[in-house]
Structure 1
Amino acid sequence: MLEVLARAKINLTLDVKGLLPGGYHELETVMQSVDLCDRLVFTPRSRGLEIQTDSELIPSGPENLIYRAAELLQKVTGCRRGAHIFLFKNIPVAAGLGGGSADAAATLVVLNELWSLGLSRDELLMLASRVGADVPFCLMGGTVLARGKGELITPLKPLPPLGVVLVTPPLAVSTAQIYREYDRLLPGVHPDTSAMVAAIEKGDAAAVAAFLGNALEPVTTTLYPRVNAVKEALQAAGALGVVMSGSGPTVLGLCRDEEEARRVAGRLDPGLGRILCTRLCRQSIELAVRENKR
């Protein structure tokens, strides 16, 4: 049995550069792991895949990214072994934090070991890109610049463990709808990715906060004004910088450390949504408990 932590991601910048063949959007995004995680327990079986979870919001069949990742490993390698996987869900669902992608990345890493497949990190990254756009980053973790659909990853200098306040309003935001509206409206907002990368290389927290940006934000905030209200509340509460993560609805407030993040969170109205304090971290997947293979 293996028990692992799969960490959420945030987008410090997210830019839409255009369309790729097949209808995918070409992205340029600076992504960062945060110390907010789901917990997964893997138990090997001789045959069959079974996914269980403590969340009613998570499917257990082929529509689950965990299942897709495990099934893809079987298909590519010809492995007939199985596993029981229990997911303890903590990352907000469909919130722009990559929870499903993090769980899928952890599944690729853990089953590669439990099933003794011997796939390299590069081979796992290729499979990750077939599961979902954010899965390659969630497999790598840390601080990275991602391009293409998200599969072209350049590691960046690690940032210090800055504090983060995450506010997820109770909204059901469809990523597909946000991109459709973006294509229709073309709001013309583009973050300065190069300036963000330079700020990261210098380890300048104030500059990192200043260059936060998300090209999808004008679309999501127009469709869901409550997201903009969360942004304004975080700014008023004293966050260094504020931006929406992914396609939303989660908004992050960057702070100098966890203590400051707790102070900022304490000034917020609980009615804004789910409020979490965390910090930037350098790993996306971490072994929690290890037992002998069966």
Structure 2
Amino acid sequence: MEISEKAPAKLNFSLDTPFRHLDGEPEWKMVMISIDLADYVHIKTRTDTNQITVRTDSGFLPCDHRNLAFQAAKKMQSLAQTHEGVDIYLDKKIPVAAGMGGGSSDAAAVLRGLNKLWALNFTLEQLAKIGLEIDSDVPFCIYSRPALVTGRGEIITPLKDLEHLNLVVAKPKDSVSTPTILKRIDYEHLTHQDVDGVAKAIMEDDYPQMIKKMGNTLEPLTSKYHPDILKIKQKMLSFGCDAAQMSGTGPTVFGICRNHSRAVRVTNSLRGFCREVYLVRPYSLKD
């Protein structure tokens, strides 16, 4: 049996980490959305072996136990108590190590796909709890729709869809290690975000308030080591984006335009400064 699942990239419209737990893991408070830039995850179950294999068209990804899609298949295999093997092929479109949740979204796609193939009947909430054991972004990626995300990443509060927005996404040539950035957080000197204000603005369709309150607590930290982040952000704003900021731990930067023709203009202008530029729209995974 086989199935293909869409694995959308994510962006952080607001990102804050109020404190660090005693085990070293951050507490999160974020507004996240999915976009229509996506990987495609092809999953096939096998009865002739119990092995899990991962293949990809990207030369930048490990295909062993370090791969989050592999970890997701291993967990589902254990929960299903099956002797069937799994072959996974990742058709990568999301930039790697970019702060866009590509690995987490691939893992979420494997959880959703195997849940269907093996008729396990887990709810999305149950899959999100399983996903949290893999990475803090996996629970959101299980739902892949606008949400307020709190706790360690497992508390997902849905928000209104945002189809009317145009998003310009730019990935600098640098790659960023999320664990390295998280270890460098100095909680005594963090500037915190009005995450609830962003969520409220989305629910009230208040675009001016949303762009006014957007922000990423980690942007100053990552951009200290990767100055191209701020350069691209300034370019986006000068070219006409209504707001621009880093996503996740970086280095991807995105800008928002209400007007589609302006977003096209910003995208074309940015391509002179950055090789990986995408014009995308918000996306919501349907049940």
Distance 1:20 1:109, change over 3 A: same
**Paired residue for 1:93?**
96
- Is structure 2 residue 77 aligned with structure 1 residue 70? no
- Is structure 2 residue 59 aligned with structure 1 residue 56? yes
With 6-15 and 120-129 compared, the bigger mean Cα shift is at 120-129
Q: Do the aligned partners of 2:4 and 2:43 also contact (CA within 8 Å) in 1? A: yes
1:221 aligned residue (199, 220, 223): 223
SS of residue paired to 2:238? helix
**Paired residue for 2:26?**
25
- Is structure 2 residue 98 aligned with structure 1 residue 106? no
CA displacement 1:266-290 (0-9 Å, x = unmatched): 122433241111011222x79xxxx
Matches within 5 A, 1:40-55: 40-46=41-47, 47=49, 48-55=51-58
Give % identity.
Answer: 36
Q: Distance in 2 between matches of 1:228 and 1:70?
A: 38
Measured after TM superposition, the shift of residue 3 of structure 1 is 1.7
CA displacement 1:94-145 (0-9 Å, x = unmatched): 1000000000000000011112222222221110111110000000111100
1:191 aligned residue (169, 193, 207): 193
Q: Distance in 2 between matches of 1:51 and 1:161?
A: 36
With 6-15 and 274-283 compared, the bigger mean Cα shift is at 274-283
| Residue ranges of structure 1 left out of the alignment (5+ in a row) | 287-294
With 165-174 and 110-119 compared, the bigger mean Cα shift is at 110-119
Measured after TM superposition, the shift of residue 13 of structure 1 is 0.4
Normalised TM-score (structure 2): 0.94
Measured after TM superposition, the shift of residue 21 of structure 1 is 3.1
Q: Do the aligned partners of 1:5 and 1:40 also contact (CA within 8 Å) in 2? A: yes
Task: Look up the equivalent residue of 1:17 and give its one-letter code.
Answer: P
Matches within 5 A, 1:31-180: 31-46=32-47, 47=49, 48-180=51-183
Task: Look up the equivalent residue of 1:10 and give its one-letter code.
Answer: L
With 124-133 and 186-195 compared, the bigger mean Cα shift is at 186-195
Task: Look up the equivalent residue of 1:227 and give its one-letter code.
Answer: I
Q: Distance in 2 between matches of 1:37 and 1:240?
A: 24
| Residue ranges of structure 2 left out of the alignment (5+ in a row) | none
Q: Over the residues paired in the alignment, what is the CA RMSD in angstroms?
A: 1.6
Q: Do the aligned partners of 1:257 and 1:279 also contact (CA within 8 Å) in 2? A: no
Q: Distance in 1 between matches of 2:240 and 2:150?
A: 32
Measured after TM superposition, the shift of residue 259 of structure 1 is 3.7
Q: Distance in 1 between matches of 2:125 and 2:209?
A: 33
SS of residue paired to 2:140? helix
Distance 1:80 1:200, change over 3 A: same
**Paired residue for 1:206?**
208
Normalised TM-score (structure 1): 0.92
CA displacement 1:137-172 (0-9 Å, x = unmatched): 000111100111111111112223311000100102
Structure scoring higher RCO (CA < 8 A, sep ≥ 6) equals 1
Q: Distance in 2 between matches of 1:63 and 1:188?
A: 31
Q: Distance in 2 between matches of 1:72 and 1:224?
A: 35
Measured after TM superposition, the shift of residue 51 of structure 1 is 0.9
Task: Look up the equivalent residue of 1:222 and give its one-letter code.
Answer: K
Q: Do the aligned partners of 2:271 and 2:277 also contact (CA within 8 Å) in 1? A: no
Counting matched residue pairs gives 284
Matches within 5 A, 1:6-17: 6-17=7-18
- Is structure 2 residue 4 aligned with structure 1 residue 3? yes
Q: Distance in 2 between matches of 1:31 and 1:262?
A: 23
